[in-house]
Amino acid sequence: MLVTTAYRPSAALTTYARSLADRLNAGYVARGNDTLPRLRRKYGAQDILAVTEEGLRFYPQGGDDGRPLFFHPNMAEIRIKRLLRGEPDPMLKAADIRPGDAVLDCTAGMASDAIVFAHAVGPNGRVTALESERILHLIVSEGLQSYPTEFPALEQAMRRVELVRADHLTYLRRLDAGSFDVVYFE
H/E stretch holding 182 reads: strand 182-184
> Which of the following CATH numbers is that of domain 76-184: 3.30.70.520, 1.10.10.60, 3.40.50.150, 2.40.160.40?
3.40.50.150
The domains of the chain are located at 2-59, 76-184
How far apart are the C-alpha atoms of 48 and 21, rounded to whole Å? 11
pLDDT category, 140, cuts 50, 70, 90? very high
Tens digits of residue pLDDT in 7-51: 999 999 999 999 999 999 999 999 999 999 899 899 987 899 999
Q: Is the CA virtual torsion 56, 61, 67, 73 positive or negative?
A: negative
182-184: strand order across its sheet: 161-165, 126-131, 102-105, 182-184
CB 77 within 8 A of CB 118: no
Strands (E), 47-111: 48-52, 55-59, 102-105
Can you give the pLDDT at residue 64?
60
How far apart are the C-alpha atoms of 138 and 22, rounded to whole Å? 13
H/E stretch holding 2 reads: strand 2-5
* Residues in CB range of 19: below 8 A, 6 or more apart: none
User: pTM value?
Assistant: 0.92
Tens digits of residue pLDDT in 64-83: 667 899 999 989 999 999 99
pLDDT category, 62, cuts 50, 70, 90? confident
**Of residues 63, 75, 61, 41, the one with CA closest to residue 154:** 75
How far apart are the C-alpha atoms of 59 and 70, rounded to whole Å? 9
Return the SS3 of 113.
helix
**Is 90's pLDDT higher than 90?**
yes
Return the SS3 of 134.
helix
Return the SS3 of 115.
helix
How far apart are the C-alpha atoms of 83 and 89, rounded to whole Å? 7
